[in-house]
């Protein structure tokens, strides 16, 4: 076991990792930009190192600064957290070349899964359905290829994610221009102009499986999460299990996902994402890291995902065995229990937090980096906290979330708390009959509450 770990991230995920490391007896080193000086993660860690000015490219995205900080403080490993360099194969490779452990899969696996075309091909190999689309990155003859797929189609960056380099095309006349724009966006954001084309699924659910693997063939699935409530491709609410996944669909997803992760020699935490529509599901991508919404799966499985991620990557071990005969997940029997919901709390403005009142009670959790008097800078992701609840069933979880949101008070900055309250109470969401088009259908109402 390593004795010291550097967290190459900030905010609530850094706080989350520090807490688990403390329980494991691992010392932590926090890094911070000058905009985050005095942040909660820097005061909680055993040591902290400034890695540059506010701009991400000069601090949290600086591979050299991060690795130098780890070597200077004699760390044995680097945890990349979420976002920033968490799925950067070159960073993972550089970390390993310095003799440090990268808390994540191998650079080769990250590289392969980060290429959406190669990831699609791998999914097909292991029996996971994909939407009709191009087998290779599109270079020439795009119109001919699309005629075989049928409109509408979606153009995606082969090396992309987060909605960047993504264009929906409904008419033949718009195809060429949108390919040009998507290539330009992909090159600007990912340094790779390759794009591929799939049939566009109009109104799907967005469902993902939480995976854990030890790199030696042992794989566990901690259930699925429904992430269909999204604004501009950014998730707002996640829950587990999904109201729209059948047992048969769930088993099919798991079988293919486990085979894929085992064959790849995947190590650590990861997420495999699907589009679900009309009783069918289609592979979308793999996120080769821990996800923001991982606590949803922690609630229903009772598994500390960060702990297992660290153990898998440092000791090739998972503390999940086959002794239980409950809901079988991969090689490991994990008994899933109850219903969990997460609401992301986003800042709508930067500023200093003058008051913070956090809800509590049985089955309530608030992951945040906020504290009274702290300053929320304008430079980074807007999420400042994640409010989670766990109950016996969805109806009880919704009631608990409604109560918890009413107790949450953050003053000094504007947040989306009231918008989340609106959604939790809204009849279509409460019915469970919604998809990724849901937020757009209520946007006018929710954004004026």
Q: Write out the DSSP string of 294-339.
A: HHHHHHHH---HHHHHHHHHHHS--S--S---SSEETTEE----SE
Beta strands at 267-277 and 351-352: parallel, antiparallel or unpaired:
unpaired
Cα dihedral sign for 304, 306, 310, 313?
Answer: positive
What is d(CA 248, CA 216) in angstroms, rounded to the nearest whole number?
28
Residue 401 covered by a domain? yes
As for how many domains the chain has, the answer is 3
- Verify that 34 and 58 share a domain, yes or no: yes
- The percent of residues in the chain predicted with pLDDT above 90, rounded, is 84
* CATH number for the domain that contains residue 96: 3.40.50.20
**What pLDDT score does 330 carry?**
56
User: Would the CA dihedral through 138, 142, 145, 147 be positive or negative?
Assistant: positive
Asked if residue 121 is part of any domain, the answer here is no
- Say which DSSP state 347 is in: B
For residue 113, being part of any structural domain is answered with: no
Are residues 212 and 306 in contact, defined by beta-carbon separation less than 8 angstroms?
no
In this structure, the answer to whether residues 159 and 73 fall within a common structural domain is: no
Residue-wise pLDDT for 27-52, tens only, equals: 999 999 999 999 999 999 999 999 99
223: CATH = 3.30.470.20
What is the rounded average pLDDT of the residues 153-163?
Answer: 83
Q: Is residue 112 part of a domain?
A: no
Q: Per DSSP, what are the bridge partners of residue 212?
A: 220, 269
404's tokens = 């918890």
Kindly state whether residue 111 falls inside one of the protein's structural domains. no
Domain final residue pick, 171, 199, 227:
199
**What pLDDT digit, counting tens, does each position of 278-304 carry?**
999 999 999 999 999 999 999 999 999
CA distance 297 to 363: 13
Q: Is it the case that residue 448 has pLDDT exceeding 80?
A: yes
Pair (375, 275) in one structural domain: yes
Cis bond before residue 152 (omega within 30° of 0):
yes
Q: Which residues contact 253 (CB under 8 A, 6 or more apart)?
A: 128, 207, 209, 224, 245, 272, 274, 281
Query: Residue 314: how many CB atoms within 10 A of its CB?
Result: 19
For the chain, give the mean pLDDT: 94
Angle at which helix 247-264 crosses helix 116-125, to 10 degrees, equals 110
What percent of the chain is modeled with pLDDT above 70? 96
Higher pLDDT, 136 or 445: 445
- Is the domain of 336 the same as that of 297? yes
pLDDT digits (tens, 9 = 90+) for 310-326: 999 999 999 987 533 33
Which CATH number fits the domain that encloses residue 144? 3.30.1490.20
Is residue 76 in a domain? yes
Other CB atoms closer than 10 Å to residue 135's CB: what's the count?
11
| Domain housing 66 | 4-103
Q: Which residue in 205, 289, 365, 417 is the catalytic one?
A: 289
pLDDT tens track for 252-286: 999 999 999 999 999 999 999 999 999 999 999 99
Active-site residue, 289 included: yes
Same domain? 94 vs 189: no
Which of 151, 176, 199 is a domain's end point?
Answer: 199
> How many beta carbons lie within 10 A of that of residue 336, not counting itself?
21
Region of 99 (left: φ > 0; alpha: ψ -120 to 50; beta: rest) is left
Q: Is residue 118 part of a domain?
A: no
Tell whether 342 and 400 lie within a shared domain: yes
Residues 22 and 42 in one domain: yes
Residues 69 and 145 in one domain: no
Q: Are residues 412 and 330 in the same domain?
A: yes
Does any domain span residue 115?
A: no
Together in a domain, 402 and 315: yes
In this predicted structure, what is the pLDDT of residue 153? 94
Backbone angles phi, psi at 210, to 5 degrees: -90, 120
Residues 269 and 411 in one domain: yes
Nearest one of 418, 289, 396, 412 to 345, comparing CA atoms: 418
pLDDT, residue 134, reads 80
What is the per-residue pLDDT across 388-397, written as a single tens digit (0 to 9) for each?
999 999 999 9
Q: What is the pLDDT of residues 334-377, one digit of tens each?
A: 899 999 999 999 999 999 999 999 999 999 999 999 999 999 99
Which 3 state secondary structure label does DSSP give 61? coil
Q: pTM of the full predicted structure? A: 0.94
Considering the domain architecture, whether residues 39 and 165 belong to the same structural domain is answered as no
Confidence of residue 332 (pLDDT cuts 50, 70, 90): low
Q: Going by C-beta distance under 8 Å and a sequence separation of 6 or more, which residues neighbour residue 252?
A: 127, 281
Domain boundary residue, one of 148, 169, 199: 199
Reported as a single tens digit per residue, the pLDDT across 74-96 is: 999 999 999 999 999 999 999 99
Closest C-alpha among 120, 128, 109 to residue 213: 109
């Amino acid at each position: 076991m390593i004795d010291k770990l550097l967290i190459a991230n900030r905010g609530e995920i850094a706080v989350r990792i520090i807490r688990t490391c403390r329980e494991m007896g691992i010392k932590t080193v926090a890094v911070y930009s000058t905009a985050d000086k005095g942040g909660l993660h820097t005061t909680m860690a055993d040591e902290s190192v400034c890695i540059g000015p506010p701009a991400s490219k000069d601090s949290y995205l600086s591979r050299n600064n991060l690795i130098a900080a780890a070597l200077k403080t004699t760390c044995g490993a680097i945890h990349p957290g979420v976002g920033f360099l968490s799925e950067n194969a070159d960073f993972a490779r550089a970390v390993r070349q310095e003799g440090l452990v990268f808390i994540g899969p191998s650079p080769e696996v990250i590289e392969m899964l980060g290429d959406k075309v190669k990831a699609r091909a791998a999914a097909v190999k292991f029996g996971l359905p994909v939407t009709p689309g191009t087998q290779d990155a599109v270079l020439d003859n795009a119109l001919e290829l699309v005629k075989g797929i049928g409109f509408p189609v979606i153009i995606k960056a082969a090396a992309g994610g987060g909605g960047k380099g993504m264009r929906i095309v409904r008419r033949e006349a718009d195809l060429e221009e949108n390919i040009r724009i998507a290539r330009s966006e992909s090159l600007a954001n990912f340094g790779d102009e390759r794009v591929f084309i799939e049939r566009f699924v109009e109104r799907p659910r967005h469902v993902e499986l939480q995976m854990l693997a030890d790199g030696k063939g042992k794989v566990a699935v901690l259930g699925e999460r429904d992430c269909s409530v999204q604004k501009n491709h950014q998730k707002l609410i996640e829950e587990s299990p999904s109201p729209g996944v059948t047992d048969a669909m769930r088993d099919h997803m798991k079988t293919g996902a486990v085979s894929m992760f085992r064959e790849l020699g995947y190590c650590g935490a990861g997420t495999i994402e699907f589009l679900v529509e009309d009783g069918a599901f289609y592979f979308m991508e793999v996120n080769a890291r821990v996800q923001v919404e991982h606590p949803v799966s922690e609630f229903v499985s009772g598994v500390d995902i960060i702990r297992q991620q660290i153990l898998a990557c440092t000791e090739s071990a998972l503390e999940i065995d086959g002794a239980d005969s409950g809901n079988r997940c991969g090689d490991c029997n994990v008994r899933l229990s109850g219903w969990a919901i997460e609401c992301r709390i986003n800042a709508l403005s930067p500023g200093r937090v003058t008051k913070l009142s956090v809800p509590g009670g049985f089955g309530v959790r608030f992951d945040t980096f906020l504290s009274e008097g702290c300053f929320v800078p304008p430079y980074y992701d807007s999420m400042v906290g994640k409010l989670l609840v766990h109950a016996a069933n969805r109806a009880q979880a919704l009631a608990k979330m409604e109560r918890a949101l009413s107790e949450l008070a953050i003053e000094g900055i504007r947040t989306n708390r009231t918008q989340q309250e609106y959604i939790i109470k809204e009849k279509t969401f409460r019915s469970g009959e919604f998809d990724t088009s849901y937020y757009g259908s209520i946007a006018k109402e929710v954004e004026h509450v």
